[in-house]
């Protein structure tokens, strides 16, 4: 499973990128707002830093305007994936930009049927939002599972990009179901390294090591 980092904070991206834990980046209007940066500038900076796809989202609502914004964003770098919402206009935009050879990430997906439409519109990535489905007492992971089945049934190339990841369990379940990519905040990716028994074991080793009075360096 590829790891995309869901942030527009360049320092956090750099840390994971240097460690080989960043196969791409996703941003959205809320993350751009949080970063306090200009969308064109920060997207250019991120796209120069990472070699994988960097999603930058359009904000227009009509297809014609979305297409124009998407073309502008796509010009920033070769590794830009234009992010469009899963609306009828977003699907039209996906169809046009994909035909032009631009990677398109269709976002705000909450059902398997929406994902089927995105695949038929030529999306490179479909972004089902797990956490937001859980928020309304539905199971976001079920939707990932349904999309996996449908895409495999018909051999769609569209990659399932599990988004709105809120916990390390979400990450593990997505990997087990077979999501192609997950995009998670940096802190969730780092939390995947934690285990209480690792901490406990390390503590015991350090105490015993101190008793030896030895040094390695
Ligand atoms: O990738 C989508 C993500 O940024 C949304 O996450 O936690 O706001 O639902 P969240």
pLDDT given at position 163: 98
pTM for the full predicted model = 0.96
Q: What's the fold here for domain 2-212?
A: TIM Barrel (3.20.20)
Give 76-113 pLDDT, tens digit per residue. 999 999 999 999 999 999 999 999 999 999 999 999 99
Does the annotation count 83 as an active-site position?
yes
| C-alpha to C-alpha distances, 45 to 37, 51, 71, 82, 113, nearest whole angstrom | 11, 12, 18, 16, 35
158: left (phi over 0), alpha (psi -120 to 50) or beta: beta
pLDDT in tens, 128-162: 999 999 999 999 999 999 999 999 999 999 999 99
Confidence grade of residue 55 (pLDDT, cut at 50, 70, 90): very high
- What is the CA(151)–ligand 1 centre distance, in A? 23
Q: Indicate which residue of 2, 44, 83, 191 is catalytic.
A: 83
Q: Which residues line ligand 1 (CB under 6 A)?
A: 6, 26, 28, 129, 131-132, 163-164, 166, 183
Q: What percent of the chain has pLDDT over 70?
A: 100
């Amino acid at each position: 499973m590829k790891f995309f980092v869901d942030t527009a904070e360049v320092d956090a991206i750099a840390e994971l990128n240097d460690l080989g834990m960043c196969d791409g980046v996703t941003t959205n209007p809320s993350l751009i707002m949080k970063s306090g940066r200009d969308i064109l500038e920060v997207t250019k900076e991120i796209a120069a830093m990472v070699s994988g796809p960097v999603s930058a989202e359009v904000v227009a609502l009509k297809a014609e305007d979305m297409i124009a914004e998407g073309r502008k964003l796509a010009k920033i770098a070769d590794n830009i994936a234009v992010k469009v919402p899963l609306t009828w206009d977003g699907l039209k935009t996906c169809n046009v930009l994909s035909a032009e050879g631009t990677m398109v990430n269709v976002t705000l997906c909450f059902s398997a049927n929406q994902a089927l439409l995105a695949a038929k519109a030529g999306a490179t990535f479909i972004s089902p939002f797990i956490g937001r489905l859980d928020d309304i007492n539905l199971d976001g992971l079920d939707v990932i599972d349904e999309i996996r089945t449908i895409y495999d049934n018909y051999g769609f190339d569209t990659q399932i990009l599990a988004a709105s990841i809120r916990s390390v369990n979400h990450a593990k379940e997505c990997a087990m179901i077979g999501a192609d990519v997950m995009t998670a905040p940096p802190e969730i990716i780092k939390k995947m390294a934690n285990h209480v028994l690792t901490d406990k074991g390390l503590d015991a080793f350090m105490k015993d090591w101190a008793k030896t009075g030895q040094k390695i360096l």
